[in-house]
Structure 1
């Protein structure tokens, strides 16, 4: 067995692992960018080296037998070690690598953060990204996320935080809606219009309306959703008037700002991170890229 371990062709081991992972010769061949006959020959060659069958040949394809499943864990470990060695030899051993988890609201996350992360993926392919899209704040100190983009200053004093810009929110309507219903001339006129707003989570809108002396009630909104994307889509569809982050519609001629002097809300943008960011290169690289990206976008 020792002689076999030294003489084993690792490409055959890779073929064995791929067939089990992907469930068929055809799927494994696509994953490895090989032809199906070539992969089949590699599987047979491995079985010949071991002196025993690893798969049952069925009309539906290959089915790993008990011996194959017993070898799988060790084979996967060897395959992973070979992949890591290949990466180290081909790349920069000093390059930051590993997983970084970020958290952001859906509008900021999808419209701003993802493009920034796209550029980062090109310059630092060794870093893996997990992005949690949620309008609720995740606890950085509890490591729910490594980095978060938020629209108010974090309450946890221990976290690292930088203010990177300002987000403006205004009231908007589609041209089609205003053609049907007319343009409101004052904030109080909004009560005579179809309004788009929150469903269950009314805290942020309540604060905004109270600043303007307007009472907030669920009945004020004829279209309700806690999704900012759904609110924006409703405004674009001509359902009514609703709050939108101005950067989302700045190049859309069909969207019209309503009461631009009477309704202007500016929200600070903060990029926050767990204190470990100072000591983990992958976290520092991602944090610096996010800060620079937001500052460039929201000068």
Structure 2
């Protein structure tokens, strides 16, 4: 067997940037390159793969199925490279102390540990406290040091940046659909069994923002734990709302996608004073490096 030719890392950087931004020109700006250079890198990668990764349309570049299949692998390599850069920047006097992060329960439990692992290996003196909560913790009172929020921060004296977006959808298990039928429209959900929030105001506010007619729905299972809701949907108790990528990973079927596919911006937020501390700044910078690939458009 012949040894595969090493892949030029710059080709993967260009690929991820185009997937993230949607065009050669925007990717060139992000990478601080010229548009022809990025175009040549994409064509070189396509030659290496053996097929086109983007369909050229009047509306711009549309990723092919092969490109979508490669994105997770390429984004993972980008995350590792960014984490390595952050770790190398603090090679001799790595910071120490505790940093408290708050974010949504599903992301905080299922994805955040994996994203933090390279950073924590390189910074053994840092301890992370993770507060999984759908509530918007008050950073001004220092309930947390850093927040990953799925809505734009409104409080004054906070600094933050948008790091991507998430799409939501309606999902159900095949077991539930076999027993109760498949809703064809959003209005049909009023005749189905639903899983949703209990007493937490976050769920109600989110439903209002997404313009969901929840007052007409029959909730057979309520929980303010989003992971609890997801478990109930997977068990076939009813239909629930969740992040589209979580629903897809869970093997659930997405419903009424033509009518319901709202998106929320994802923000990395901290108090302005917090970012002056070395350990807080180190964690913030690492998250700022890895989150854009995590929340890139799929």
TM-score interval, normalised by the smaller of the two chains: 0.5 to 0.7
Q: CA deviation at 1:93?
A: 5.8
In structure 2, how many angstroms separate the alpha carbons of the residues matched to 1:210 and 1:98?
Answer: 38
- Residues 202 and 100 from structure 1, CA distance in 2 versus in 1: closer, same or farther, beyond 3 angstroms? closer
RMSD (CA atoms):
2.1
Listed as ranges, the matches of 1:184-263 within 5 Å are: 184-205=183-204, 207-208=206-207, 211-212=210-211, 215-217=213-215, 220-252=218-250, 254-263=251-260
Q: CA deviation at 1:210?
A: 6.9
TM-score (norm 1): 0.64
1:87 maps to none
Listed as ranges, the matches of 1:68-107 within 5 Å are: 94-107=93-106
Given the alignment, which residue of 247, 259, 266 partners 1:269?
266
Aligned length: 207
Contact 1:206–1:216 (CA<8 Å) still a contact in 2?
Answer: no
Q: Does residue 109 of structure 2 align to residue 122 of structure 1?
A: no
Contact 2:274–2:281 (CA<8 Å) still a contact in 1?
Answer: yes
Indicate the structure (1 or 2) with the bigger Cα radius of gyration.
1
Q: Which runs of 5+ in 1 are unaligned?
A: 1-90
In structure 2, how many angstroms separate the alpha carbons of the residues matched to 1:163 and 1:210?
Answer: 19
Cα deviation, 1:74-102, whole Å, max 9, x if unaligned, reads xxxxxxxxxxxxxxxxx966221111111
TM-score (norm 2): 0.64
Contact 2:275–2:284 (CA<8 Å) still a contact in 1?
Answer: no
Q: CA deviation at 1:228?
A: 0.4
Q: Which runs of 5+ in 2 are unaligned?
A: 1-89
Q: Does residue 180 of structure 2 align to residue 177 of structure 1?
A: no
1:20 maps to none
Q: For structure 1, which segment, 126-135 or 191-200, has the greater mean C-alpha deviation from structure 2 after superposition?
A: 126-135
